[in-house]
Structure 1
Amino acid sequence: MKGQMKNRWLIALSAVGIHISIGSVYAWSVFTNPLQQQMGWGLKQISFTFSLAILFLGLSAAFLGHFVEKFGPRVSGTLSSLFFGVGVAGAGAAVHFESLLLLYLFYGVIAGIGLGVGYITPVSTLVKWFPDRRGLATGLAIMGFGFASMISSPIMNHLIQTYGISNTFYILGGTYFLVIFCSAQYLAPPVAGWVPKGFDSTVETSGNKRIKKDLRQLTANEAVKTRQFWALWIMLFINITCGIAILSVASPMAQELVGITAASAATMVGIMGLFNGSGRILWATISDYIGRPNVYTLFFAFQIVAFFVLPNITVGILFSIIVYMIMTCYGGGFSSIPAYIGDLFGTKQLGAIHGYILTAWAAAGLVGPIFVSWIRETTGSYRGTLLVFSGLFIIALAISLLIRVDIKKLRALNETPVVNKMDNLKSS
């Protein structure tokens, strides 16, 4: 089936299928207690499996981004299905042989590589199919990743109780392989020059809306040499670091600061997942209307205030509402970044650039929980931790404002006649 004959909404559905499968990694904690009871492994040993998977997600996304661009979404999606399916199923063998090292190898490394390839595979394709709704399209897929734990957790728990840990990994590995593999077969980029019905890619004609032009068309290696790339990297790193840190300590922090019960704190943590997922589609869609720069500025401005006031709140429900809003910003940061990349650097190698950007996720996944624990131990309270986060978001806000200056210059350069443009380039 040729690209022009495909339905772009089915392309989006295929992307959701991939992300819902790989997003099940966020339900890893379901295995924690069963593994402790059956294998006698410690909490840190089991949790390291998840950290390792996130690390290899970021690393594989960065190193295999060019592979995705070269061979296309069908091949890279198939590769993801193999790595993730084998990795999850192999975790069952690791439990069977009672080997923690095998668990790290299969779930942490092999499944982690499948995670990274699967995460970036649909994104550049979706951006090309939805030039008019970039935020919505990428938000749909990445929303699937955010909601996956809510879908997977009860299923995993039922399978563990019914069939045991090893068999659960075997069943999940086979299922994820089939879903990702089948989803990948429908993925394909549109033919060159394709635009949605009712739009025109070059000029505005009667009855046709014009597609907003990208500022540039850069390769991944060209993009990483720009300060705009590193501005996006730092903004995403700060947003993820603080978000992951809050996720890792939400329950004890709420109990310490506002005195809610452990049961209420557990409920709050569960609801946080809902806002994390819904924030991905909400903010990405909003970005189509108000622009990506405005969305990130709103993220950071709100979180500066939120983290500053949280230590002084004594009412549990108000504390929870603010944390939920922070979670929407955390999720929205993931879903809005691919469209932001497309706006700044074009779609030529968006998947590879996205892969490079996601190294911020790998770094934040390691730094966030360690950082929050260190500040907590140093200051003796979560109050100090939240104030430090507020300070970090001041830096992120400043960067989000500075990048607007570059965007304005690039936009002006695009509107300058070719002769004057060459003179401007020589003088800069």
Structure 2
Amino acid sequence: MDKDRNAERQLIILGMAAEKGRWLLVSVGFLINVCLGSIYAFSIFRKPLETLWGITSSQSGYPFMVFLAVFAVAMPLAGNLIAQWGPKKTAMLGGMLVAIGWIAASFSPDIFTLTILYGVIGGAGVGIVYGCPIAVIAKWFPQKSGLAIGLTIMGFGVSALVTAPLLKAMIDNPDIGIMNTFLYSGIAFGVIIMLLAQLLSFPPDKWASAESEAISSAHATATLPTLNFSRQAMLKTPSFYALWATYTIGCLAGLMAIGIASPVGTEVAKLDATMAALAVSLFAVFNGLGRPIFGAITDKLGPKHSAMLSFILIFAASLMMSFFGQENAMLYLVAFCILWMCLGGWLALAPTATGIFFGKQYYAQNYGIVYTAYGAGAILGTLISGNIKDITGSYLDAFPIVAGLALLGMIIAAIGLNPVKR
């Protein structure tokens, strides 16, 4: 009996020590995501690429669109790899692909080659790495994971705050130029990701039970999933399709705003190129803050009400831009801060909702499927904005469509975002 009690006490002590140490993994995940999130600064490349190769607004968005689509498609594959190889080896593989994609892109002779090298190879690498810190944090925070996941992926959102000015400075530097910017960035990102990947690991099997013994709060366990759905079981639930549809709409609005942030700043809001680049950095702050904010909101209010709040904000921002956005720099800043923040919110809301609805046992595999909504949103958002700009001559005509989709999202969330019952 005494031996059992001593063993139990040791597990509790180990669990409490691990509870403190797990926040280091949040920092590691944050830094990895800073590297991965450089895609959100891609609008910095668009005008220089249009000038370099004489291409259209739609064509300059192809690498961004394909990158995000492949990113999302790679996530389900990464979920299986994480389960088989563990997060460290999976992240190392992804880090190598990220480096190869960026470096190879620097030798592109045209936009279509750039789209394949940067979009497909780089996008696959980011898709493989991205799920690793999230899966690790979800396992280390079995109770209320929304805030921890939000802080981890905040690095992806704030990445443009750091990378947009750096990328612009390199592009504008005559000794570097646009293509060498891809080269140097790929080397740096690859090295950083490979080093940080060494620290990623899941908790020991007995650790979760030790934490449960140490944490006796009924409020904390109230949101702990009691059901663990396999990927096949999840796909049979209405809640999955509601989550996937709302996630797609939330990402469509935010990724469209990210992809056109710089040209809208110069062409619609009439900012100069330097101010437009600084605006992208400001938006990145809100994109990053949206993740822990909506992660905490989802912990407190649940997925349904958090989703509806996001769609209300997207609807309001889209209508403001549609009616009053022309030559209105202040409104441009406010509306795009909201849209970037809501995208960040969805990137915390959706993984948290996946754990709440479907459990943590098969989390990496399940969230990989849910995350394909991100790719759908990237494709639709980029196509809508680019084609409408080419047809009408203004990006503003895309915003009424986004407002209508936000209304649809509110309806789907109200009806379908419900806890799964067996």
Tell me if both proteins adopt one fold, taking TM over 0.5 as the criterion.
yes
Partner of residue 25, structure 1: 39
1:331 pairs with 2:327: no
Once the 2 structures are TM-superposed, how far is the Cα of residue 117 of structure 1 from its aligned partner? 0.6
Q: Describe the shift of the 1:191–1:198 C-alpha distance in structure 2 as closer, same or farther (beyond 3 A).
A: closer
Once the 2 structures are TM-superposed, how far is the Cα of residue 230 of structure 1 from its aligned partner? 0.9
Partner of residue 141, structure 1: 152
The share of aligned pairs that are identical, in percent, is 26
What amino acid does structure 2 have at the position aligned with 1:345?
F
Q: How does 1:6-405 map to 2 (within 5 A)?
A: 7-32=21-46, 35=49, 40=53, 42-43=55-56, 45-92=59-106, 94-95=107-108, 98=109, 102-160=113-171, 161=173, 162-165=175-178, 167-195=180-208, 200=213, 210=221, 212-249=223-260, 260-263=269-272, 266=276, 268-313=279-324, 317-318=330-331, 320-373=333-386, 385-404=398-417
Distance (whole Å) between structure 2 residues aligned to residue 118 and residue 232 of structure 1: 23
Contact 1:200 1:209 survives alignment (8 Å): no
Once the 2 structures are TM-superposed, how far is the Cα of residue 196 of structure 1 from its aligned partner? 9.5
Distance (whole Å) between structure 2 residues aligned to residue 185 and residue 402 of structure 1: 43
Q: Describe the shift of the 1:36–1:318 C-alpha distance in structure 2 as closer, same or farther (beyond 3 A).
A: closer
* Deviations, residues 70-120 of structure 1 (Å, cap 9, x unaligned): 22111111111111112222223x24xx46565334312211110101111
Contact 2:287 2:344 survives alignment (8 Å): yes
Partner of residue 9, structure 2: none
Contact 1:199 1:209 survives alignment (8 Å): no
Partner of residue 420, structure 1: none
Contact 1:235 1:400 survives alignment (8 Å): yes
Contact 1:235 1:399 survives alignment (8 Å): yes
Contact 1:83 1:110 survives alignment (8 Å): yes
Distance (whole Å) between structure 2 residues aligned to residue 133 and residue 91 of structure 1: 40
Distance (whole Å) between structure 2 residues aligned to residue 310 and residue 156 of structure 1: 27
Size of the alignment, in residue pairs? Answer: 399
Distance (whole Å) between structure 2 residues aligned to residue 171 and residue 18 of structure 1: 17
SS at match of 1:387: helix
Distance (whole Å) between structure 1 residues aligned to residue 95 and residue 185 of structure 2: 12
SS at match of 2:223: coil
Distance (whole Å) between structure 1 residues aligned to residue 178 and residue 393 of structure 2: 38
SS at match of 1:78: helix
Once the 2 structures are TM-superposed, how far is the Cα of residue 215 of structure 1 from its aligned partner? 4.3
Distance (whole Å) between structure 2 residues aligned to residue 293 and residue 130 of structure 1: 21
* Deviations, residues 196-249 of structure 1 (Å, cap 9, x unaligned): 9875489659xx964632042011222122111111110011111122233445
Distance (whole Å) between structure 2 residues aligned to residue 187 and residue 328 of structure 1: 27
Q: Describe the shift of the 1:198–1:145 C-alpha distance in structure 2 as closer, same or farther (beyond 3 A).
A: same
Distance (whole Å) between structure 1 residues aligned to residue 376 and residue 342 of structure 2: 19
What are structure 1's unaligned runs of at least 5 residues?
Answer: 411-424
Once the 2 structures are TM-superposed, how far is the Cα of residue 126 of structure 1 from its aligned partner? 0.4
* Deviations, residues 273-329 of structure 1 (Å, cap 9, x unaligned): 322222122221232233332211211233334434554447753564244223211
What amino acid does structure 2 have at the position aligned with 1:143?
M
C-alpha RMSD over aligned residues = 3.3
Q: Describe the shift of the 1:373–1:171 C-alpha distance in structure 2 as closer, same or farther (beyond 3 A).
A: closer
SS at match of 1:186: coil
Q: Describe the shift of the 1:317–1:31 C-alpha distance in structure 2 as closer, same or farther (beyond 3 A).
A: closer
Contact 2:97 2:124 survives alignment (8 Å): yes
Once the 2 structures are TM-superposed, how far is the Cα of residue 192 of structure 1 from its aligned partner? 2.4
Contact 2:307 2:413 survives alignment (8 Å): yes
* Deviations, residues 168-208 of structure 1 (Å, cap 9, x unaligned): 43432222222111211111111224249875489659xx9
Deviates more, 1:152-161 or 1:124-133: 152-161
Q: Describe the shift of the 1:113–1:46 C-alpha distance in structure 2 as closer, same or farther (beyond 3 A).
A: same
Contact 2:80 2:365 survives alignment (8 Å): yes
Q: Describe the shift of the 1:320–1:150 C-alpha distance in structure 2 as closer, same or farther (beyond 3 A).
A: closer
Contact 1:280 1:335 survives alignment (8 Å): yes
What amino acid does structure 2 have at the position aligned with 1:303?
I
Deviates more, 1:74-83 or 1:171-180: 171-180
In the superposition, the TM-score normalised over structure 2's length comes to: 0.82
Contact 2:161 2:284 survives alignment (8 Å): yes
Partner of residue 419, structure 1: none
* Deviations, residues 256-280 of structure 1 (Å, cap 9, x unaligned): 9xx7433398364543232222212
What amino acid does structure 1 have at the position aligned with 2:78?
L
Distance (whole Å) between structure 2 residues aligned to residue 252 and residue 100 of structure 1: 18
Distance (whole Å) between structure 1 residues aligned to residue 167 and residue 395 of structure 2: 33
